[in-house]
């Protein structure tokens, strides 16, 4: 009898503890919880999350995904292994879904699959709007306004540091891009310096030439006229010889 009473008491205690567990504690299996209020960080990355918090749903598996958003073929491309989680919330422009992967490799792998799927199913109506942001793969379903959908997706910010497990596969591309950018800047800076040097040299040459011309002209104007004919009669073709008075010329 005492054993039965003990078992019943234990069950009642367990039920009371479970019933007092808050919804935030039940969601506590999320990868990252805010220390301030216990809300999963991924929910806070929803656009205007305070307004949609009550309608937001944390998703940990494909079954949860289909239960909340319905059966969609694109969900077959989302892998929840390795701690992947997602959050969805309804907006006026459509239903937003953010899938967070723990590694860039997994996010990029899903990104390639989704882009290929969307390229092969471009005639879907309504269309699926999609973008990869950091380790987030962001979807918008049941939306018709492309501009509004892209604006909403653009409000999603990935504010974590992306670290690669092993060698960064994009290291060569980044180094190459940096090298090309630096080389291009050096090339244009060199061309600009050469053109500027030539332009300054031309302007300086013109200035010195004009100055030399006026200095020499002033010297010629101030110098006395002379003749190299030695006092002999000569043609005054260069107008350098002084004029001879007609009174001193021989007459018939």
Confidence at 151, pLDDT banded by 50, 70, 90: very high
In the chain, the largest separation of any two C-alpha atoms, in whole Å, equals: 175
- The whole-chain average pLDDT of the chain stands at 78
Mean pLDDT of 29-48: 75
Domain boundaries, the chain: 23-165, 170-219
Q: Output 196 or 3, whichever has higher pLDDT.
A: 196
> Does the structure show a pLDDT above 80 at 221?
no
By the 8 A CB rule, do 63 and 79 touch? no
Say yes or no to pLDDT of 179 above 50: yes
- At residue 57, the 3 state secondary structure works out as strand
Name which of 14-18, 114-118, 232-236 the model is least confident about.
14-18
> 7: pLDDT confidence band, cut at 50, 70 and 90?
very low
Q: Under DSSP, is residue 219 helix (H, G, I), strand (E, B) or coil?
A: helix
Mean pLDDT, residues 141-168 taken together: 79
Calculate the alpha carbon distances from 200 to 152, 193, 211 in Å. Answer: 53, 10, 16
pLDDT score, position 246:
62
pLDDT at 181: 85
Q: At a CB cut-off of 8 Å and minimum separation 6, what does 150 contact?
A: 129, 131
Q: Give the pLDDT band of residue 239 (cuts 50, 70, 90).
A: low
Percent of the chain that is helix, strand, coil (3-state, to 5):
50, 10, 40
Prediction pTM value: 0.53
Helix (H, G, I), strand (E, B) or coil at 169: coil
Q: Is residue 72 scored above 70 in pLDDT?
A: yes
Candidate ranges 179-183, 223-227, 236-240; pick with highest mean pLDDT? 179-183
Q: Which of 78-92, 146-160, 177-191, 216-230 has the lowest mean pLDDT?
A: 216-230
Mean pLDDT calculated for residue range 8-19: 49
Residue 28 banded pLDDT, cuts 50, 70, 90: very low
- For residue 232, what pLDDT is reported? 58
Q: Which is higher by pLDDT, 110 or 171? A: 110
* pLDDT tens digit sequence for 84-118: 899 999 999 999 999 999 888 889 999 999 999 99
126 band by pLDDT with thresholds 50, 70 and 90: confident
For residues 172-186, average pLDDT = 82
Which residues, in sequence order, are bridge partners of residue 89? 96
Share of the chain above pLDDT 70, in %: 67
Model pLDDT, residue 21: 38
């Amino acid at each position: 009898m005492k054993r039965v009473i003990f078992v019943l008491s234990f069950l009642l205690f367990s039920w009371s503890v479970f019933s007092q567990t808050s919804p935030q504690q039940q969601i506590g299996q999320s990868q990252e919880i805010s220390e301030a209020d216990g809300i999963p960080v991924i929910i806070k990355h929803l656009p205007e999350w305070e307004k949609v918090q009550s309608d937001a749903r944390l998703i940990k598996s494909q079954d949860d995904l289909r239960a909340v958003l319905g059966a969609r073929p694109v969900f077959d491309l989302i892998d929840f292994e390795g701690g992947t989680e997602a959050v969805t919330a309804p907006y006026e422009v459509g239903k937003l879904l953010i899938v967070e992967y723990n590694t860039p490799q997994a996010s990029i792998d899903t990104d390639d699959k989704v882009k290929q799927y969307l390229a092969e199913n471009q005639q879907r109506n309504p269309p699926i709007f999609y973008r990869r942001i950091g380790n987030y793969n962001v979807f918008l379903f049941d939306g018709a306004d492309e501009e509004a959908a892209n604006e909403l997706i653009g409000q999603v910010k990935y504010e974590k540091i992306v670290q690669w497990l092993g060698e960064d596969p994009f290291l060569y591309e980044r180094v190459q891009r940096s090298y090309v950018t630096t080389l291009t800047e050096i090339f244009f800076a060199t061309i600009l310096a050469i053109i500027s040097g030539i332009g300054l040299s031309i302007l300086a040459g013109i200035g010195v030439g004009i100055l030399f011309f006026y200095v020499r002209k002033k010297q010629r104007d101030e110098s006395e006229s002379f003749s190299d004919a030695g006092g002999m009669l000569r043609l005054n073709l260069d107008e350098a010889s002084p004029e001879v008075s007609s009174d001193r010329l021989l007459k018939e």
